A = this chain, B = another copy of it.
């Protein structure tokens, strides 16, 4: 189910700390955070970023750029990758700044259709 896919996504990415499947309304379907005191509060991050993603979707629409497939935000402490899973949901992966971004992005692409299939 969702949890197994998300756990595998996070655990297989070097530096991966958290992952979630969330609606654009900011309500998480499933969240997984590595058992580590320093791990970020993924639900709060997800809620903030679901709002941002909604803004990005609106902007892309008004600019006629088509559907938004992927958004990446790199900050000093964390890289957050988000990928659309159909029109209502997205999958997010948080990686430490020194983690393997390329692998995380690849795994996110692989797992998203699987999660989408289970959402249907």
Contact = CB atoms under 8 A, between A and B. Distances in A.
A79 to B, nearest CB: 9
Range, interface on chain A? 20 to 34
Interface stretch (A2-10, A26-34, A57-65): A57-65
A69 B59 contact: no
Contacts of A60: 73, 75
Interface string A22-52: 0000000000000000001100110011011
B71 A76 contact: no
Contacts of A52: 52, 55-56, 59
Given A64-B77, A65-B75, A67-B76, 4 more contacts: A48-B59, A70-B73, A71-B73, A72-B72
